[in-house]
């Protein structure tokens, strides 16, 4: 049965088709002829994809119009989700799924002699994010639309997304991700809503002390809107991405000097602001361009929000002065990490300098409006901008930040008189240290300027309160919350694993699609032999497809009957891909030492990108590929062990790999991973997890029971105790001969005989630094992997554990996460809006 057939089964069961096949064919041919100006004699597969995208988009348009009209007429409180990253992936299949039109489109294209899967593969991933944070934002948009929450995503329309990763001689090589080179059929430019954004300049004060930001350099923000459909509720929200545009006129000076070419070149420099997504993840590197991107997003977005507030019936009652006291009643702004935190002083600036409010009133409104989500415990990831940079780029905002800090520290001093050390620790402005300079702590600014602060897993939120932001949690009673992350079950089960979705629906109905907690109804089926056999068959079919994909893409033969051990995520030392690599070398050494020994065949897959300047992460990629080259070509090993590096791992590839995984690697050092969402995707698709009690793994174990997950290694308290007494990696290496052998092989060039010294830095890091305690957890990890192999041999037990993973996934839906944000932070009731299906007509949605 093909993917199309499986999708068709899910789509047609009990769901009215939105259009008949004849009209889809007519619309498709109309777009091919009149939009693309092609006929079947000259059209390319990409032309067919574009015609199909336009055809599907037609069915979004009237719903998009109706949704925005509803928001304008009823003026509900709106949510604005600000994020520097939206890792959307592909749009076509997800849109057809949410509109319920897959079966009709499948049949229409079949009658036209076209293959829908081939057309779907043509779409470029919208890779506007680095990893988890951006993918979470994309899942949130899906859930907000599905829950009928009036919401807008705001981000940047990067011309180049996350780089395309190539593996050359085992090394990562970066190429530009020119995702827009063929156009984007899902976006609509809105030049009529272009807005000015100011940089540089200076601050003047008038005779009354009122500030004015003057002599600025102006860049314009052009909005591009993308529809975000809810799941079969006719609600279509908007993702608005800003693109930088230079002013429409040249400076007269250039014409006086006759330097027209220079004038054009300077325009290009201006537009660099949204040229490329910064490829760093979990490492803060202060660069002017990055701050420009952050402010550009916030300045354009807040002008847009205020315009929409003023244009609403609530905001304007034909009076001269707008009542901004009502602003927090109509506007909720969520900051996705500190990246958009400059929005806090920007809103205050607009309210003071443009709208004429006092500082105290403006600050009060800002606090009631903003919520802040923290995504990291790693100190190097916390943003701290040099005062000199802010003073040059955003001088008025620096003044406002100083005002915020003074007001805040006065309150702290009143509560803790004489505690100057506490004042120093809590200050938004960090004093110069040694040869450094003063910096603005953006996390502190986000906490002070928001009414709610949340972590993204119970453990993470607890550590924020007890360690990272302990002083603030003591000062602000009730401000800190937890909102455990989730994933959208539409993309991450219904779309990517339709066979499993179909099996689930056959047994418990389709209510789980929008209420994932209903998956608990599957638990009694753990004694149903027929259901378990079907579950095993679906997993096997998915594994066969992935084996063929790996053969086609990477020319590696893998055994579909082997244990698929999958470790896919950004390359970072704290995620400990290196620990997994040590285990692979250990398995290799054991096979070589005793080739006749029985071993459970294992295929280990890695996928993920390292930041281009992250030396150690790139070394780990090279090591994995060097080990793979030796292992995969050793005839003694054969099919007992294979290692595959999934080059250029991205959302569309994750949709293929996730349903086929047997084992999910979630092995970060306890206390370093905020949440993780890959762990949830694998759990929902029936993979078992090997992991530490870190991030959301803790809650996953609680939901499914410790008997259905493989937990190893130190817990947070153990890590803290070990570091407190002084960690010495040599202590662990010295008492474990296998570990010592593995490190010696890496250091001596066993896997890289032509360049034997290439991994010396990596080996020295393991032996003498080992910040993330790889050596300390090695023994426990290897023993737990042995348990994984033993259980995998017991097919019945493994499948039952997989069932309990699936059945326990209900908590980890972004529908649940967003419902909690809505009621506990934004003051909005979810599921309050459900629209009837409009007439299927052409037209453009309003830009409201």
Burial class, 160, CB count within 10 angstroms (exposed 0-12 / middle 13-18 / buried 19+): buried
Residue of 768, 697, 783 lying closest to 728 (CA atoms) = 768
Burial class, 268, CB count within 10 angstroms (exposed 0-12 / middle 13-18 / buried 19+): exposed
Reduced to 3 states (helix: H, G, I; strand: E, B; else coil), residue 334 is strand
Residue 34 in tokens? 């009149």
Provide the 8-state DSSP code for 466. Answer: I
Residue of 685, 680, 647, 641 lying closest to 571 (CA atoms) = 647
Strand partners, 153: 81, 239
* Active centre residues (catalytic): 375, 569-570, 575, 677, 681
**Calpha distance 450→370 (Å, rounded):** 5
**Calpha distance 113→666 (Å, rounded):** 44
Provide the 8-state DSSP code for 63. Answer: H
Provide the 8-state DSSP code for 573. Answer: G
**Calpha distance 76→253 (Å, rounded):** 49
Residue of 510, 486, 543 lying closest to 678 (CA atoms) = 486
**Calpha distance 481→217 (Å, rounded):** 40
Other beta carbons within 10 Å of 499: 22
Strand partners, 528: none
625 and 539 Cβ atoms separated by less than 8 Å: no
Residue of 129, 132, 123 lying closest to 45 (CA atoms) = 123
194 and 223 Cβ atoms separated by less than 8 Å: yes
**Calpha distance 543→558 (Å, rounded):** 10
659 and 687 Cβ atoms separated by less than 8 Å: no
């Amino acid at each position: 049965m093909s993917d199309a057939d499986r999708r068709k089964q899910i789509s047609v069961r009990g769901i009215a088709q939105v259009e008949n096949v004849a009209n889809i064919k007519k619309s498709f041919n109309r777009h091919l002829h009149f939009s693309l100006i092609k006929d079947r004699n000259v059209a390319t597969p990409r032309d067919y994809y574009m015609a199909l995208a336009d055809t599907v988009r037609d069915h979004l348009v009237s719903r998009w119009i109706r949704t925005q009209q509803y928001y304008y007429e009823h003026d509900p409180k709106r949510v604005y989700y600000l994020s520097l990253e939206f890792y959307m992936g592909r749009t076509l299949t997800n849109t057809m799924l949410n509109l319920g039109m897959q079966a009709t489109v499948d049949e229409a294209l079949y009658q036209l002699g076209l293959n829908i899967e081939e057309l779907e593969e043509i779409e470029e991933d919208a890779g506007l994010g680095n990893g988890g944070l951006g993918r979470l934002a994309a899942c949130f948009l899906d859930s907000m639309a599905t829950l009928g929450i009036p919401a807008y995503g705001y981000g940047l329309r990067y011309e180049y997304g996350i780089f395309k990763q190539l593996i050359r001689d085992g090394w990562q090589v970066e190429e530009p991700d020119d995702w827009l080179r063929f156009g984007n059929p899902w976006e609509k430019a809105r030049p009529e809503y272009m807005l000015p954004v100011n940089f540089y300049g200076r601050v003047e004060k008038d005779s009354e002390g009122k500030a004015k930001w003057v002599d600025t350099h102006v860049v314009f923000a052009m909005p591009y809107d993308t529809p975000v459909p809810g799941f079969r509720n006719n609600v279509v929200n908007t993702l608005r991405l800003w693109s930088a545009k230079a002013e429409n006129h040249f400076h007269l000076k250039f014409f006086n000097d006759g330097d027209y070419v220079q004038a054009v070149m300077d325009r290009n420099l201006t537009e660099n602001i949204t040229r490329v997504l910064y490829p760093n993840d979990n490492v803060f590197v202060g660069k002017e361009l990055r701050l420009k991107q952050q402010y550009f997003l916030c300045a354009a977005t807040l002008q847009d929000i205020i315009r929409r507030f003023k244009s609403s019936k609530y905001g304007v009652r034909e009076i001269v002065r707008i009542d901004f006291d009502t602003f927090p009643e109509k506007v909720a702004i969520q900051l996705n990490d500190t990246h958009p935190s400059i929005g806090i002083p920007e809103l205050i600036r607009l309210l003071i300098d443009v709208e004429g409010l006092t500082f105290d009133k403006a600050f009060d409104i800002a606090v009631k409006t903003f919520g802040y989500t923290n995504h990291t415990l790693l100190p190097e990831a916390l943003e701290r901008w040099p005062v000199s940079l802010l003073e040059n780029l955003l001088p008025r905002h620096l003044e406002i930040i100083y005002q915020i800090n003074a007001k805040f520290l006065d309150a702290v001093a009143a509560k803790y008189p004489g505690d100057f050390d506490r004042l120093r620790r809590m200050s938004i402005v960090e004093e110069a240290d040694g040869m450094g300079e003063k910096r603005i702590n953006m996390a502190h600014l986000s906490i002070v300027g928001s009414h709610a602060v949340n972590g993204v897993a119970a453990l993470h939120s607890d550590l924020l309160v007890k360690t990272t932001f302990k002083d603030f949690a003591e000062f602000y009673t009730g401000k800190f919350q937890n909102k455990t992350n989730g994933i959208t079950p539409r993309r991450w089960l219904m779309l990517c694993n339709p066979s499993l979705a179909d099996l689930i629906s056959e047994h418990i109905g389709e209510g789980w699609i929008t209420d994932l907690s209903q998956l608990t109804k599957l638990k009694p089926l753990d004694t149903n032999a027929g259901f378990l056999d079907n579950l095993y068959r679906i997993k096997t079919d998915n594994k066969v497809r992935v084996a063929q994909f790996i053969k086609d893409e990477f020319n590696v033969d893998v055994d579909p009957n082997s244990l698929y051990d999958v470790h896919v995520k950004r390359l970072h030392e704290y995620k400990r891909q290196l620990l997994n690599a040590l285990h692979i070398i250990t398995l290799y050494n054991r096979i070589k030492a005793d080739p006749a020994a029985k071993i459970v065949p294992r295929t280990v897959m890695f996928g993920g990108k390292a930041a281009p300047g992250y030396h150690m992460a790139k070394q780990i990629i090279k090591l994995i590929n060097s080990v793979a080259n030796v292992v995969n070509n050793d005839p003694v090993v054969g099919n007992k062990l294979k290692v595959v590096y999934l080059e250029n791992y991205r959302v569309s590839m994750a949709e293929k790999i996730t349903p086929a995984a047997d084992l999910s690697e979630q092995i970060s050092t306890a206390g370093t991973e905020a949440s993780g969402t890959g762990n949830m995707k694998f759990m929902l698709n029936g993979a078992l997890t090997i992991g530490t009690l870190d991030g959301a793994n803790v809650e996953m174990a609680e939901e499914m029971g410790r008997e259905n997950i493989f937990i190893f290694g130190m817990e947070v308290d153990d890590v803290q105790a070990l570091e407190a007494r002084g960690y010495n990696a040599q202590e662990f290496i010295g008492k474990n001969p296998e570990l010592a052998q593995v490190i010696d092989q890496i250091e001596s060039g066993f896997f890289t005989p032509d360049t034997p010294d290439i991994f010396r830095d990596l080996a020295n890091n393991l032996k003498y630094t080992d910040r993330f305690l790889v050596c300390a957890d090695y023994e426990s990890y290897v023993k737990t992997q042995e348990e994984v192999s033993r259980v995998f041999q017991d097919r019945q037990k493994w499948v039952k554990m997989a069932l309990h993973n699936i059945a326990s996934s209900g908590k980890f839906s972004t529908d649940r996460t967003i419902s909690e944000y809505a009621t506990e932070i934004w003051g909005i009731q979810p599921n309050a809006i459900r629209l009837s299906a409009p007439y299927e007509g052409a037209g453009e949605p309003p830009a409201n």
